[in-house]
Structure 1
């Protein structure tokens, strides 16, 4: 039998038949018995509504008769109980589902959370305990759970990218609960994610005012932090949106609706058809009308499939690595899958035909790994994989072709009017291909329609050809492009041919410089539809660019050398500014030219132009590192040409190229072959305290080598600049110097060095370096026990990484801030860990996600939920990259957490094993503070087992590892006391 108290009291037999309960007194009686099913309810509580004495017994008898033997009501002491369990009552089922939904949300499973919470909320039919107005306390408790479940469900929807959908609901809820801060925060986030930052700030101000007026309090730290984020803006990179159309789409309404309907049920749709038929324009329209998040990836400039995953990362606005080290456990493809795993998105892959095999393989893997992903591809041929749905894009029908021609002709000749039959003949001659029609219509600026028709007849042979294959239509389009090209003036033709050197368009200054346009040729090419001008950049359609590149090769107008020279000059100009207060502006400038910079680097290798390639690799180093971009393939190709010996005068540049080549797993062999020569070249360039041309390169080199056992020379290279002439190199050296005293337990010495580094970076305006130094200072403050200072410093660092758009580093700092809060403000810590997990998932960063899960494991352990803690720690360990130095502390902490779970369960053997594993893991990487924590946990375990002497010895060992002398123990002695294997101790001693 099933019961309902979430609304009017009701009862149903297992077959679904509703049981008549009678009047309000009987329904109230049943509801009170069901508030805590199976528990005795005192008679005076049952009689609180006015049914007392004999009347109560009478109502119980009648209720028994109505329910029958399946739900017996029994006398129990001075009251009654009903033979039912929580699962028989809608309130019990609601609370179970709500708890499961919240747990799924905490674990980052947004789709599962939304499903569970939606099912829980669907059980409500009205106000709780509607028939028992005097049971206010129980009704309030259930209504509070309902509101919390609503908040959790909305949180899940926000994680799923449904911010637009929840805004009306949140406005209504906040109107009914104006003092509920979580609702205010959710509404602020939903508005912010939809671009309504000003509206979100207004919500905060209204909430702040209400709290002050009605409660005399300020907003919570969490809401205040969200307000600060809004004031700073949200510079986090966003996916590339489909380009804004410059003109209306003509004659494609049926295609738009049909493709949209197909995407509603199919996860991969490919628009096929010949060049110029309008596949891209149709995809843009469909994506623009689709709800939710969309990302547009232009693939025309790619020449090999190996670069596809990195191109998609760029389109998603994601970095390949953090500020401090790459996430080596995941290549770009794994990072893509991780970023899209729980993210509903429409991914538009435009112009796939040049690398169709690579697109097919990657799309198949991503669709299999990412259940919320849909793909809309455009290609002249199908991808040919399981699950693909094809939508052939055909030429326009006759009437639509005429409308398109007329609309484009009217744009270049005011008051255009022509015989519809002549226009129809022109369109038929052009096979009704939209691009061909637009190119032809643009010619009406200088010729009349009859002349245009005659010239096309001469050029194309016959006015109408009936049914045509895609290949024949492509030949028609090529003929029209060639005809348009031949009609250009000589200077226009030369500029158009030189423009084909650009990848991803060009800013006006770059276009004029590279194309040698001293006049109005670029504007004229826009007028003639051979170039587009949108968003302050010139762009050439791929069909036209491919034809122009052929003509450029034939005429000798190839501008690739001029292109490389321009972008080398740009990178060199920008590089020093990336270490100053102008950092953000120059990052934006270089990001806009990202495709051109990479194209120039790749072409230098293809052309065997080693000097240009090496200079570009060095000049781009700071930009690529801050942006988290890996150019390992281009750098490795350049080194293959350069050989094993640095060219004279280009030693630093050679080292920078080796640094880039070794930035991913595929480049490890290149790194191994060239590392020694490159390091020697760097040492020579920076010898005797003199500054080289690229101050960031030695620092980046040292960070790349930090985890290698013979890294002393790399550290020495940076430390030598502690009093050198370059202010950025000095600050970097002070930052590195701080880790020596930190490892030795000298917190004051470490703080002095990190503080000097932060001051140096801040004086220059370098947000990147400042964030690193502030994070280190926060660690020192936490080590001293000054958690307030640690939080304040981390807040400063977070503001800087968010301005840099560094999602993964922001997630890392949020975890650190959670660690600073966890002992005294568990709710704030949980919020930081949960936000870090959401950001890390968006960034596709498994190691930073692991850190957040480890933090949530700590919260679960503190809450006494051993099962959840064990699950979260285990999940975290599986995600940490064991080869990355930044993972060491997180791995050790997760292992300690698993040890504490085992100890809480009374399994001392497993606990001891976990603590020793944590100590060995940390010590073998030189992370002695983490090793000390693990040995401290061993001391606690010994004390809990009554071994006071053993606990004291282990406490001394932990102190030694923290850098505090105790009983003349060495680190090796301390590790032996902890019971570590001698091979581990020997390896630690060699560090």
Structure 2
């Protein structure tokens, strides 16, 4: 018989049938006996617990026991023992005892590192619960104590089960449960710690830190206690963890690596002493594969001097102009932040800032077509980033000082035969051939890995002897000695051509058309652009002309170059290129509305996978004067480019396109024209040419955009509208910008309506109406949130936090900034997260200097990784404030001076950090008794504040500066006038 007291008191026979126990007195009696099966419970206690009101007598108790014995039959024995009773049952037949046994075993398995077994045991234990423990016992101190003990064990088992799930990577399945549990047990530190770990594992570092802050405050307010050492250690661990997107890993390989273990060890050893190693050799000799294996070995070596590894594929680049952007993208760095202004540094400077202190092995693959640009950039990075190492692959050396060359040679004889055999067996089960014959085949192919793989793929339909004969005819060889790299390349080209010639006509057509894809393609895109079907694509994979991994088809660069030549020879380049560009347009146009809604995190990587093809399509459209197509590509990709921080990659095409069309707006393309002007002006890669284009085309674009968004009907590209309003509100035409804002506050397009409210808030601030500004920012937040847009929501939350701080509500400011940090973390926006951390530090500084210091320090780390000089300056200024507050004048002055050097005085986002830094330097001078120097710094700060178009006092108070500091600055400046 089985018994249950974890919920209603119940009993079941061996066949599963339930035993009728009778009324509440008998159920309570059975529950009391089952709490400790086999132990004697005194009659007095049973009487007291079963009926606390005192109506149950000893005689009545004896009667209830007799009836309970009858109900249970032979399933259990209730014995009289001295002055009480006990029930003789196997403890494992009682659900509470079985629960305790399973939970204990699960906890032991967890402690022993077996999370899988622990999870199974704990789930089994918790499934025994049907409701509150001892639910049918009358209320008494003894009943409450027994129930509380079981409920505590239950909660502990839940915590153990969740920890086991987290160890197994199941954080997504427990976050919601943990939130609910933390809500019910707000002072339970282990639950808070588990929620912090689950959130961080799911990519929510900022939200995890919010959880710590909440429990820290509750412990202090309700218990007057600090977090435990364990929870405090977890908090420090989260603060030091890096939420940044990981650098691009080496591409996954689908085949075994044959015959190069010695070279891997040689190159890895060389990288321990050399900072630039270049693998050289002809196409198809295996440079890329060797670099992938070296990079993988370095990444796996925890003791490796190279530290992290970033793999950059340069083959998709058309020219060297996009090289810095390619590196930024591979490093996971955005090229501009959410603040949408033109203060971003040049991409090369951002790379230097990001890599200056980082231990990194940077692998640059396929450098030969941009070798001059790679050489210049590598030289500059190595000169300015002392912990950086570079591994390059190229058909020729980079030719810079410090370069160590490793000539990648063909495989040795045995390795070549082994490679042929393995690849042949992959397409033909049980493949065997005479080793001498295979050696002759490989020798004819100069032992080049790519040539061997292409030839081995033919083993599916050709015997080894037939294959050898065809190769002899093709290459005109019987035997040969060592040959030069150029001759080997001709051999490879001949084998590629031979493999190509053996394709059917539909396969050849699909393969040469596929050569237009710069970054590979999905099956649907490949079939559409190449005019083929899935079976043909699979056949090309079987024959080693295409590779398939990660849901995308790719073509090796050597084969792609050959296919491109045949595409030209067939006279198809223009039509296929046009089809390719239109397919890219279709993809980005489909994604655009999703990027402004809740599904943006799903769609951003979809578009990012097409980035190389987007740039290639833009380049072709501009180069071939397909102006309408080029404008549409730029505008449809605008949201992606800005949220992703990749606008600089499109700036050269935008600038060239404006130069081609002049100042006449193409009919029906007004918004596209404005998008083009913004890209040319806002992306730092466009340089002076982009700024010149902006000045020439701004007026025409403004007129076209106003016509596209008249107010009574929406336009097509609301993010273009937002960027236009922001740039002009802080620039040459604030009246026109705010007129456009006013016309959109009741726009039918919800995202544009929210954007208009957002921009109008800045106008209210300029008018000295902080309450109106806060209302406008709140309306913007509601609009963005209703759409699920994290990007817009982060913008609005940041401004609302600033408004709250300005009116003295620092707690509200911190909470709003925490929300924004969660969103920027999800978007992978390092620069914006750094900005928000500085803001949160400012909000916290008046209450908790230690927390503020942690925010500033973390912001400095992220700003350095993002290569953002402005946000690094802001973080240094914050650390200077902390040092000043602690009386360390020398450290404060050093930090302020470094911050001032890094601040761009011409960027609107830099105004606050610059004012605070100047005032900080003035306060340091004041503390040292240097009155004249202090007055000079305060005067500089007041003059900068006056330039905002409102009073200096209002600007200083909007920054949330202490009132005494504002008074000091203003009184000093007033006395000087």
| TM-score, reference length from structure 2 | 0.74
Counterparts in 2 of 1:191 and 1:372: CA distance versus 1, 3 Å:
farther
Per-residue CA distance 1:93-146 (angstroms, 9 max, x = gap): xxxxxxxxxxxxxxxxxxxxxxxxxxxxxxxxxxxxxxxxxxxxxxxxxxxxxx
Aligned with residue 458 of structure 2, among 433, 443, 465: 443
2:700 aligned partner: 677
Deviates most, 380-389 or 593-602: 593-602
Q: Aligned partners of 2:914, 2:371: CA distance in 1, in Å?
A: 40
Deviates most, 890-899 or 675-684: 675-684
Counterparts in 2 of 1:327 and 1:808: CA distance versus 1, 3 Å:
farther
Aligned with residue 656 of structure 1, among 675, 678, 681: 675
Counterparts in 2 of 1:223 and 1:660: CA distance versus 1, 3 Å:
farther
Instruction: Show the 5 A alignment for 1:774-923.
Output: 774-923=797-946
1:596 aligned partner: 613
* 1:433 CA drift (Å): 0.3
Counterparts in 2 of 1:526 and 1:732: CA distance versus 1, 3 Å:
same
Counterparts in 2 of 1:415 and 1:716: CA distance versus 1, 3 Å:
same
Query: SS of the residue aligned with 1:265?
Result: coil
Q: Aligned partners of 1:347, 1:258: CA distance in 2, in Å?
A: 18
1:586 aligned partner: 603
1:89 aligned partner: none
- The Cα RMSD (Å) is 3.2
* 1:194 CA drift (Å): 14
* 1:224 CA drift (Å): 7.6
Structure 2 stretches of 5 or more lacking a match? 1-188, 302-306
Per-residue CA distance 1:136-171 (angstroms, 9 max, x = gap): xxxxxxxxxxxxxxxxxxxxxxxxxxxxxxxxxxxx
Query: SS of the residue aligned with 1:738?
Result: helix
Query: SS of the residue aligned with 2:279?
Result: strand
2:797/2:817 contact within 8 Å kept? yes
2:429 pairs with 1:414: yes
Instruction: Show the 5 A alignment for 1:227-246.
Output: 236-246=244-254
1:236/1:805 contact within 8 Å kept? yes
* 1:719 CA drift (Å): 2.8
Q: Aligned partners of 1:525, 1:472: CA distance in 2, in Å?
A: 27
Q: Aligned partners of 1:644, 1:309: CA distance in 2, in Å?
A: 30
* 1:235 CA drift (Å): 7.0
Q: Aligned partners of 1:934, 1:566: CA distance in 2, in Å?
A: 49
Counterparts in 2 of 1:657 and 1:459: CA distance versus 1, 3 Å:
same
Aligned with residue 342 of structure 1, among 357, 366, 370: 357
1:463 aligned partner: 478
2:64 aligned partner: none
Instruction: Show the 5 A alignment for 1:603-622.
Output: 603-622=620-639
2:544 pairs with 1:533: no
Counterparts in 2 of 1:510 and 1:828: CA distance versus 1, 3 Å:
same
Instruction: Show the 5 A alignment for 1:390-409.
Output: 390-409=405-424
Per-residue CA distance 1:572-620 (angstroms, 9 max, x = gap): 1111111111111111211111111111111110111000000111111
Q: Aligned partners of 2:728, 2:700: CA distance in 1, in Å?
A: 15
2:317/2:612 contact within 8 Å kept? no
Q: Aligned partners of 2:550, 2:960: CA distance in 1, in Å?
A: 59
Instruction: Show the 5 A alignment for 1:924-935.
Output: 924-926=947-949, 928=952, 931-932=955-956
Aligned with residue 263 of structure 2, among 244, 255, 262: 255
Per-residue CA distance 1:954-979 (angstroms, 9 max, x = gap): 46x9xxxxxxxxxxxxxxxxx8x364
1:142 aligned partner: none
1:742 aligned partner: 765
1:320/1:326 contact within 8 Å kept? no
2:538 pairs with 1:523: yes
2:808/2:960 contact within 8 Å kept? no
Q: Aligned partners of 1:925, 1:500: CA distance in 2, in Å?
A: 54
1:319/1:806 contact within 8 Å kept? yes
2:445 aligned partner: 430
Q: Aligned partners of 1:787, 1:500: CA distance in 2, in Å?
A: 57
1:240/1:316 contact within 8 Å kept? yes
1:708 aligned partner: 731
1:287 aligned partner: 295
Instruction: Show the 5 A alignment for 1:133-144.
Output: none
* 1:518 CA drift (Å): 2.5
1:239/1:315 contact within 8 Å kept? yes
1:351/1:378 contact within 8 Å kept? yes
Q: Aligned partners of 1:857, 1:845: CA distance in 2, in Å?
A: 18
Counterparts in 2 of 1:204 and 1:915: CA distance versus 1, 3 Å:
closer
* 1:516 CA drift (Å): 1.7
Aligned with residue 624 of structure 1, among 641, 649, 671: 641
1:324 aligned partner: 339
2:653 pairs with 1:634: yes
Q: Aligned partners of 1:329, 1:757: CA distance in 2, in Å?
A: 25
Query: SS of the residue aligned with 1:248?
Result: coil
Deviates most, 288-297 or 259-268: 288-297
2:362/2:390 contact within 8 Å kept? yes
2:239/2:858 contact within 8 Å kept? no
1:498 aligned partner: 513
Larger Rg: 2
Q: Aligned partners of 1:941, 1:853: CA distance in 2, in Å?
A: 19
Report how many aligned residue pairs link the two structures. 762
2:454/2:499 contact within 8 Å kept? yes
* 1:249 CA drift (Å): 1.4
2:497 aligned partner: 482
Counterparts in 2 of 1:978 and 1:653: CA distance versus 1, 3 Å:
farther
Query: SS of the residue aligned with 1:371?
Result: coil
| TM-score, reference length from structure 1 | 0.73
Q: Aligned partners of 1:515, 1:317: CA distance in 2, in Å?
A: 31
1:919/1:931 contact within 8 Å kept? no
Counterparts in 2 of 1:808 and 1:935: CA distance versus 1, 3 Å:
closer
Structure 1 stretches of 5 or more lacking a match? 1-180, 945-950, 958-974, 981-991
2:592 aligned partner: 575
Counterparts in 2 of 1:466 and 1:841: CA distance versus 1, 3 Å:
same
Q: Aligned partners of 2:681, 2:743: CA distance in 1, in Å?
A: 24
2:250/2:311 contact within 8 Å kept? yes
